[in-house]
Chain A
């Protein structure tokens, strides 16, 4: 694996470039098709409300994939990710309009580990609420 960021050049507290990811209903339909997750809570407003959700919500795995980009874009090689975990604490609600929702992701180096690995802690929010908890990736740097 060939990360471009060097282990010796990062320290605890180093911030990764933050990113914002737009999500519309069209995004969710495309993600459903590509991932094979056709749960109607991700595209059918009537169904989502019937099961008690405020509206259609994004796939948790779409949010997890978006947050990962902050790490993979920074590291230079997506294959450098060794561990990645999240907790889905709030849904990303996606209204049926042209704007949809935004997922805002920040991240920083939380620990330097052995073998050129670092732990990155991520924060993902949408509409001002944290949507992922315990969001951590371990990446092997150069």
Chain B
């Protein structure tokens, strides 16, 4: 199923603010098995020059992917979510996410392609804090795999 090319360049309105909590960061750091004190101890984070505990670099994805969910679920786009795996992921940080941040995400569809029966979607998520400062941009490539068992073992999982 080919995706609707007219979606290229489409931006979605900023999400409601996501408030980054210390305990959420701790929970995430424990889940990735990372004992770095900058994620759990405000004093350790301050010693590194941060105003409060910071989040591991990939934590941003939990926020941007939720925002991208609006794009993915857009019925007019026609993406088969049940076959979606994660192709590429990239982040560019102005600063690390930290406890107390209230973050909004603005998602933009950068490209839609069909290759060998796979539908490929590139979404950019720009994350800003309450004062409007840029925090991080996330680029996510999603691949809806062709319904062909021979091509099924690719990809790292959405």
Partners in one complex: yes
- What is the distance, in angstroms, from B129's C-beta to the closest C-beta of chain A? 15
User: Is A6 part of the binding interface, using a Cβ–Cβ cutoff of 8 Å?
Assistant: no
User: Is B10 part of the binding interface, using a Cβ–Cβ cutoff of 8 Å?
Assistant: no
> Looking at the complex, which one of A27, A57, A82 makes contact with B157 (CB distance below 8 Å)?
A57
Residue of A nearest to B150 (CB): A52
Residue of A nearest to B83 (CB): A51
Q: How large is the interface on A (under 10, 10 to 19, 20 to 34, 35 or more residues)?
A: 35 or more
- Which residues of chain A have a CB within 8 Å of any CB of chain B? 1-2, 21, 27, 30-31, 33-37, 39, 41-42, 51-54, 57-66, 68-69, 72-73, 76-79, 81-92, 131-132, 134
- What is the distance, in angstroms, from B92's C-beta to the closest C-beta of chain A? 5
- Which residues of chain B have a CB within 8 Å of any CB of chain A? 27-28, 30-34, 36, 38-39, 47-50, 54, 56-58, 61-62, 65-66, 82-83, 85-93, 95-96, 139, 145, 149, 152-158
Task: Contact check, B152 vs A52: say whether CB atoms are below 8 A apart.
Answer: yes
> Looking at the complex, which one of A62, A68, A134 makes contact with B57 (CB distance below 8 Å)?
A68
Residue of B nearest to A134 (CB): B88
What separation, in Å, do the CA atoms of A89 and B154 have in the docked complex? 7
Task: Contact check, B58 vs A68: say whether CB atoms are below 8 A apart.
Answer: yes
Task: Contact check, B32 vs A53: say whether CB atoms are below 8 A apart.
Answer: no
Task: Contact check, A78 vs B56: say whether CB atoms are below 8 A apart.
Answer: yes
What separation, in Å, do the CA atoms of A45 and B142 have in the docked complex? 22
Residues from chain B with a CB closer than 8 A to the CB of A21 are 33
Task: Contact check, B54 vs A53: say whether CB atoms are below 8 A apart.
Answer: no
